[in-house]
Chain A
Amino acid sequence: MTCGRSRWLSAAAMTVPVLVAGLGWRPSLRAAPAQGSDWTESPGPRYLTPVALQLSPDGRRLYTVCQDSDLVLAVDTHSQQVVGREKVGRKPAGIAVSPDGKKLYVSNELSSTLSEIDTDSFQVRRTLDAGWGPVGITTDRYGKVLYVANTQGGDVSLIDLSAGREIKRLDAGHFPEYVALSRDGRFVYVSNLLARLATYDEPVVSELTVIDTSRQVVSQRVDVPGVIQLRHIAEVPSTAGGYLLVPFMRPKNVNPLIHLQQGWYLTHGLAVIRPSGSRGMDERKARVSEVLLDDIDHYYADGFGAASTPDGRWALVTASGADIVSVIDTAKLNRLLRQAPAADPEALANRLDSARQFVARRLPTGRNPTAVVVSPDGRFAYLTNRMDDTISVVDMQQLKIASTIDLGGPKEVTAARHGARLFFDARYCFQGQLACATCHPHGGLSDGLAWVLETPQLGRDVVENRTLLSITETSPFKWNGKNLDLATQDGPRTAMYIFRSQGFSPAEVKDLVTFMNSLQMLPNPRLASESGLNEAQARGRGIFFRTTTNDGRLIAPQDRCYYCHPPLTHFTSRVTMNVGTATPYDTIQGFDIPQLDGVHMRAPYLHNGEALTLEEIWTKFNPQDKHGITSDMDKVQLNDLIEYLKTL
């Protein structure tokens, strides 16, 4: 193993962790907070940050969850005033209304709980347990079972509401985020934010998971090819087409980022999905079409919310990076779809001249519009402006913004809030194609893809995207470690290589960095507390800190796990290192050592995402023991090490 810096510098940097290990002291883990507790809150005013909303069955009440204030609000749609507030769990993310309108259900992502609220008293009646990181939530048509998408768990919890507990958990796709009940109640659809794990040279495929509500099993896993970030799901009634509309992002991640025209390196659109509706054999019979919402000279970044009017005449899709809601004429969309070959889902997927055929209006909203719903009479649509603490009201007869409801958030804009707004704003990019949030969705995650960000040569220096959560104190940045701080990463580099534009001003970069420094790792559900390691995890910790091989030979300090991944500095020594994973297509041999915090949810691994699982890092990509001494381990030891790593 050779170091990217001189040997003495590296040795100096390693002194502390080596010493403490040599003294036999097991450094304590970074204080990973237990679920729902010790979550660091930013100082200053507490913004509401509404992210999801639902209407009461009679349309008189609008309910919205506010993720930064842990509140659910009730708004009178006639007076457009807030008439109720109730505290729920940590970071509420989703909301559902019971069919009779008497109860609300709120998913609390950081608490991994669900709050049940009585709509009359507007008080929490009970708190239920969910899986890991619940977001999307819906009841079945009878109001007896809740379906909850658990983002970190990768599954859907079925909660029996009379018993108040989970009765079943169904495996979904990669980071299931939103759910929707079909109009006839037969199915629950689940959209998955991230694509199925694959190496960079394999096509990207996302999944829409279909659950049969009568049998309560997964009946279909619909392939949606070439896209990621499936978001909210809208079902157009059968009279208008009878399909699902799901916003997506379509990456061209292995093209070098020098070709700006014709979709550059990602586009935004809608998946038009017709699940088979069959309750028989679970084959892939769904029909999928993909259309773009972007225009040839302007993009509408980060499609998020989707809704249909009750008659299906119009569909609405928010572009959360463009501060726009697109109103779609479904009759014209149907006409376009009929022209495309039914067997080819991607026939229209690269046509930037499609949107003008079926988009009736592009209406300006507040900042960062997310969810959208339509009133039962189809008269109005409501959408949350997450970064403004407001709700826009769309007049669906005149197709214009009728009013804006102020939810009463703080009016002062702090540096962090300004930075957050910049994070979600695609205006700084050439033709508005992308914002920071485009490649770092769900508040700063990695999109799980490898990109060719740097060189103009096709296929060279393919690099895996990284998380933005808890990256303060993990500089330098960039896969070669050449960006010394976030300001360098987000300033000139982003402007030159990512946005291909003027980019952010120095003051804006400063606020953006303030915001990014506030992004924190999600609570790790695998670790209850420092002393909460189970047997396998404890054995794995011993392996992580081991100094000898199984047969007693001393492991050289630079070959020990904690040498490059010391726990005191987020498990990164913050230097570059050659671990034998460079390919013939890499222009460098040593790569910036990533932090291991939250590694359990950061697949795929290694600098180019070649290792799809943690196991593969060592079973496939460490033949020479350059990435730690692992060749003497048996399978049980490797499993133990991995179980420990998953707790970080």
Chain B
Amino acid sequence: MGILSCFGLLAGLLLLAPRPSAARDLPLYTQWINYTQANGFPEGEVFCVTVDGNRVWAGTAHGLVLLENGQVKRVFTQADGLVGRAVMSIAVDKQTGDVWIGTFGGLSRYSGGQFKNYTNLSSGLANDLVYSVAIQGQYVWVATAAGVCRLDTYSGAWTIFNEKNAPFDEPWAYSLALGKDKIYMGVWGGGVIVYDTANRSWRPYEDPDGEMEIVLYRNQGLIHQIVSGVAYNPDTDMFWASTYFGLSGYDGRNWHNYLSKDSGLASDFINAVKSRGDEVWACTDKGLSYLDYQRQIWVNYRPDPKSGHGEIEITGPDGKKSHVKTATSIAHNYTLNMDFQGTDIWVGTAQGLSHGIRQPQKGEQVNESSRNRR
């Protein structure tokens, strides 16, 4: 561990304030390393981030970035063969090692140092505005502005799912997540649609309040139609949906909805959601929110606009809040997406990429990635 890093950690520790008793053993991310234009990262938004072992792929408004062991290794742009400038989604095929990249100019596959591109003029891709990509065996699922497509990489056949052959109220598909024989599709203005690949059936989930911006009865269904992201948690067998008007989770029987007005959620405007184990992460426009689902404890991360340092807000199940200051902070409060790297997290924000290093727990071995300081 470097000297500067030790200083940072110590400074963070010195700023710690007493936490509510229920949250004392809560893992916190007290150290952040940011990649911004100031240190060579492309300017502007980081729309997506995908971890692949010691590699981190980040999709930005100005190209695709590869980091290895915490260092920026390469920035790919259209000059390198990438099909579009703005990168919205990245998926790594664990079987083949190929990297699939959804952009606002089509779909790219990066393999063996070469890009192969698919556009709606040259292939069966429904639309060049690609929001999300997911890999399921030999199939590549692609969420676009004109529906969800599936490419069979063995036969080269494209299949399009839209309002004509599936229960899409709107064709604008924003997000994909893979479950057990299921594809979860988050549709902007169309709720969540689940496709069962085994029996080829559809199940839509919509806001029972329609498109009214109120919640008449809590936990009666999806909290809102405008779904920006969807995630499946195999540990809990729940899927989660981020919307512009709150957060929803469904366990197969009951809905669990959250609004900022009566929970620790940082904001109802959520761009993406991720979940594993007991963790639920929501990327909001007012910070990164974390929910310990079992204990119903919220933790929000955002930069303190006054000091420039980091601020951690902890909300207990009783609603009581406490705050922790940290020396470093996430790059920006407007968070767009995130992914896990062991116990670390990587977060795409409106102004750069943030690497969150978890404070070591008592008796825990430090995550190897945490040792990679810039």
Q: Does B123 contact A (CB under 8 A)?
A: yes
Judge whether A616 and B122 touch: CB under 8 Å.
yes
Judge whether B111 and A613 touch: CB under 8 Å.
no
Judge whether A536 and B159 touch: CB under 8 Å.
yes
Judge whether B123 and A169 touch: CB under 8 Å.
no
Quick one: which of A210-242 are within 8 Å of B by CB? 210, 215, 217-221, 223
Interface size grouping (class) on chain A:
35 or more
- In the complex, chain A residues whose CB is within 8 Å of the CB of B113: 220-221, 282-285
Complex CA–CA separation, A234 to B308 (angstroms): 61
Residue picked from A154, A209, A282, A536, most chain B C-beta under 10 Å = A282
- In the complex, chain B residues whose CB is within 8 Å of the CB of A620: 121
> Which residue of chain A has the shortest Cβ distance to B127 in the bound complex?
A635
Nearest CB of chain B from residue A267's CB, rounded to whole Å = 26
Q: Does A170 contact B (CB under 8 A)?
A: yes
Judge whether B68 and A281 touch: CB under 8 Å.
yes
Prevailing SS type, chain A contact patch: mixed
Contacts A615-B121, A619-B122, A636-B165; A171 near B111 (Cβ below 8 A): yes
Q: Mark B112-147, 1 if CB is under 8 A from A, else 0.
A: 111010001111101100000000001000000010
Judge whether A220 and B112 touch: CB under 8 Å.
yes
Q: Does A323 contact B (CB under 8 A)?
A: no
> Which residue of chain A has the shortest Cβ distance to B114 in the bound complex?
A221
Residue picked from B68, B74, B146, B155, most chain A C-beta under 10 Å = B155
- In the complex, chain A residues whose CB is within 8 Å of the CB of B294: none
Q: Which of B15-23, B93-101, B276-284, B361-369 contacts A (4 or more CB under 8 A)?
A: B93-101
Q: Does A131 contact B (CB under 8 A)?
A: yes
Q: Does A362 contact B (CB under 8 A)?
A: no
Complex CA–CA separation, A219 to B116 (angstroms): 15
Q: Mark A276-295, 1 if CB is under 8 A from B, else 0.
A: 00000111110000000000
Nearest CB of chain A from residue B156's CB, rounded to whole Å = 8
- In the complex, chain A residues whose CB is within 8 Å of the CB of B165: 636
Nearest CB of chain B from residue A616's CB, rounded to whole Å = 6
Nearest CB of chain B from residue A160's CB, rounded to whole Å = 13
Interface size grouping (class) on chain B:
20 to 34
Judge whether A635 and B121 touch: CB under 8 Å.
no
> Which residue of chain A has the shortest Cβ distance to B94 in the bound complex?
A217
Q: Does A168 contact B (CB under 8 A)?
A: yes
Complex CA–CA separation, A282 to B123 (angstroms): 26
Q: Does A73 contact B (CB under 8 A)?
A: no
Judge whether B122 and A639 touch: CB under 8 Å.
no
Complex CA–CA separation, A620 to B120 (angstroms): 11
Contacts A169-B138, A612-B122, A613-B122; A155 near B114 (Cβ below 8 A): no
- In the complex, chain A residues whose CB is within 8 Å of the CB of B158: 639
Judge whether A171 and B153 touch: CB under 8 Å.
yes
Q: Does B320 contact A (CB under 8 A)?
A: no
Contacts A536-B157, A615-B122; A171 near B96 (Cβ below 8 A): yes
Nearest CB of chain A from residue B129's CB, rounded to whole Å = 13
Q: Does A526 contact B (CB under 8 A)?
A: yes
Q: Does A153 contact B (CB under 8 A)?
A: yes
Task: Find B124's partner among A217, A285, A642 (CB 8 Å cutoff).
Answer: A642
Complex CA–CA separation, A153 to B157 (angstroms): 12
- In the complex, chain B residues whose CB is within 8 Å of the CB of A536: 157, 159
Complex CA–CA separation, A219 to B110 (angstroms): 11
Judge whether A217 and B114 touch: CB under 8 Å.
no
Complex CA–CA separation, A285 to B68 (angstroms): 18
Q: Does B164 contact A (CB under 8 A)?
A: yes
Nearest CB of chain A from residue B159's CB, rounded to whole Å = 7
Q: Does A70 contact B (CB under 8 A)?
A: no
Nearest CB of chain A from residue B89's CB, rounded to whole Å = 20
Q: Does A643 contact B (CB under 8 A)?
A: yes
Judge whether A282 and B120 touch: CB under 8 Å.
no
Complex CA–CA separation, A189 to B118 (angstroms): 26
Nearest CB of chain B from residue A124's CB, rounded to whole Å = 26
Q: Does B225 contact A (CB under 8 A)?
A: no
Contacts A221-B111, A643-B157; A168 near B123 (Cβ below 8 A): no
Complex CA–CA separation, A220 to B157 (angstroms): 25
- In the complex, chain A residues whose CB is within 8 Å of the CB of B97: 215, 217-219, 282
A sample of 22 cross-chain residue pairs with beta-carbon separation below 8 angstroms, ordered by A number, consists of: A153-B154, A154-B156, A155-B154, A168-B96, A171-B116, A207-B114, A209-B112, A215-B97, A217-B96, A219-B112, A221-B113, A223-B114, A282-B97, A282-B113, A285-B113, A536-B157, A613-B122, A616-B122, A619-B122, A636-B126, A638-B124, A639-B124
Contacts beyond the supplied A169-B138, A281-B74, A615-B121: 6 A-B pairs with Cβ under 8 Å: A168-B96, A209-B112, A217-B96, A221-B111, A526-B155, A619-B120
6 closest Cβ pairs, A-B complex = A217-B97, A221-B112, A218-B112, A619-B121, A221-B114, A284-B113
